[in-house]
Amino acid sequence: MTWGRAITIFFTVLVLSSCGGSPAMRLLKEHHNDVISQDDFGICKGYGCRSYVKTGLSQEEWQEIRHIFAKPAQNAREERRLIKRAIATFERRVGPKTGTEFDLAGAQIFNFAPQGQMDCIDEAFNSSTYLYLLRKAGLIRFHTLGKTLHRGNFINRWPHNTATIHQIDRPRIVNGAKIIGSEGHFVVDSWFHANGQPPEIVPAALWSKGWSPKNK
């Protein structure tokens, strides 16, 4: 094997196993296309959405999530706290149905048995789906669902992806252009924690600079 071929294979493995990218990146832009309702949606797992599993919540499970919003948030900050609780509950209920209940925090660079594990592409897709369902049901009132956000290119930092939300009363467009990381733009990142734990919700501008819970 030539040195050039070895380098190519090495970086291909990195891309497929560490949130660098994959054919599933297309799904990150189309996460809601296969979402019918809270009892009929799909989730990604296996690193880079190698497995796409259809699942759903029972009426009792959906009511559990709705109950989180029974006392409506009075502002965007309060709503973000409720969103964290709701996504954690989604993960706890969906996990046993999809074999992801033992998903660990983060992702291994080399993982040759990732069937029940999720990298940041899987997490970004799934969190976006949960946010879409919450917004569609009218449970989220102070935020809209944003596009997935990417940072890193192997040179300046490790590649990473996340779901995002936008606070409705904050500008998203300045001088005709959408500003990534503008005030009111937040990431909803479940990748940092194990299944069923609340995601991190922090300003996108901060996250884009390499933020993580370890250095917050």
Could you write out the three-class secondary structure of 99-128?
CCCCCCCCCCCCCCCCCCCCCHHHHHHHHH
> Is pLDDT above 90 for 3?
no
Q: Is the pLDDT score of 155 beyond 50?
A: no
Query: Is residue 141's pLDDT more than 70?
Result: yes
Predicted confidence band of residue 178 (pLDDT cuts 50, 70, 90): low
* Beta bridge partner(s), residue 42: 54
Mean pLDDT of the chain: 82
Band (pLDDT 50/70/90 cuts) for residue 162 is very high
Alpha carbon distance 126, 199 (integer Å) = 12
Average pLDDT over residues 28-35: 62
Distance CA 52, CA 39 (A): 16
- Report pLDDT for 159: 84
Q: Which tens digits make up the pLDDT trace of 78-124?
A: 999 999 999 999 999 999 999 999 999 986 655 555 678 999 999 99
DSSP string, the chain: --HHHHHHHHHHHHHHHTTS--TTHHHHTSTTTT--BTTBEEEEESSTTSEEEEE---HHHHHHHHHHTSS--SSHHHHHHHHHHHHHHHHHHHHHHHT-TTPPSS--SS-S--TT---HHHHHHHHHHHHHHHHHTT---SEEE---EEE--SSSS--EEEEEEEETTS--EETTEE-TT-TTEEEEE-TTS-TTSPPEEEEHHHHHTT--GGG-
Burial class of residue 63, CB neighbours in 10 A (0-12, 13-18, 19+): exposed
Distance CA 31, CA 171 (A): 24
Question: Does 15 score more than 50 pLDDT?
Answer: no
Structure-token match 């709701």, residue found: 86
Contact by Cβ (8 Å): 91, 104: no
- Kindly report which listed range (11-25, 58-72, 124-138) carries the lowest average pLDDT score: 11-25
Q: Which of 25-29, 113-117, 137-141 has the highest mean pLDDT?
A: 137-141
